[in-house]
Amino acid sequence: MINRATGVPMENILYLGGPNIASEIHNKEYANARICGADKWRKPLAKFLRQPHFIVWDNSDLVTHEVMGGLKNVYAIGAGMVAAHTNESATSKSVYFAHCTSEMIFITHLLAEEPEKLAGPLLADTYVTLLKGRNAWYGQMLAKGEISRDMGDSISGKGMIQGVSAVGAFYELLSQSSLSVLHPDEKKPVAPVELCPILKNVRKSFLEKPFLQRLSFFFLVNLISLLVVDIWIFREQPSQAILQALRDETLNDPRERIEIAQSHAFYRPSLLGQP
């Protein structure tokens, strides 16, 4: 997109990403990063940026790292929601990790011609963002009801929550009517987003407000019942949809989604505006 909008050659465009947490870099704690792009720029820049507390890897795969850089922010929001609703259950978070990484692999195969495997720096960047990034914090606070979507994408003390807009962007990109993949169970063409239940439910948690009718009903019956409404709101946050999806007994093994992506020619160059 930068190339098409500005005319800057692809070999002059670079990506600098994690695994790191901004506050840890600021405090000069140990941190890593990776720089992606053409050899002539990335290798000397990686060497220039390296410091004892800031190790920089380099990689030639610009597109995969850009796509994964956006996706890990999306799924970090869901990770925060799962952590909040399960009291930091290790099992629930690990199952979520398995499903979200399989969706990331699936999506990347649509967007990158020769996607790099989710390993090394890519896996590390995903893990640290789900573990302690601002997007994970946002999902957790949203699930607890301590912040709301009405507050916008920029939160005081945290900065811009990049995953919020990325949720909508990836959902719209993967739900286009011109796209279709074969559903493994139903054996019929569906939009790619239909094979990404985690992405669908992260987006759903931003949109649904299931308490409105209950609130109106109780308010009209008895003002005292507002206490009951408060309890219901706490127990039935929209973000719980992601937990229900995670524990759906019909949810396929995440391995199957990866196999689908790797066994078909899924690449769609037009999705990133490439000719």
Instruction: Tell me, rounded to whole angstroms, the distance of Cα 187 from its chain centroid.
Output: 27
**CB neighbours of residue 139 within 10 Å:** 30
CA distances from 7 to 111, 253, 275 (A): 21, 43, 14
- Crossing angle of helices 90-111/197-207, nearest 10°? 100
Task: Characterize the bridge pairing of strands 54-59 and 181-182.
Answer: unpaired
List the one residue out of 46, 50, 47, 108 whose CA is nearest residue 74.
Answer: 108
Residue 93: active-site member? no
Coil, helix or strand at residue 111:
helix
* Residue tagged active-site, from 28, 72, 93, 204: 72
Query: What residues are annotated to the active site?
Result: 72
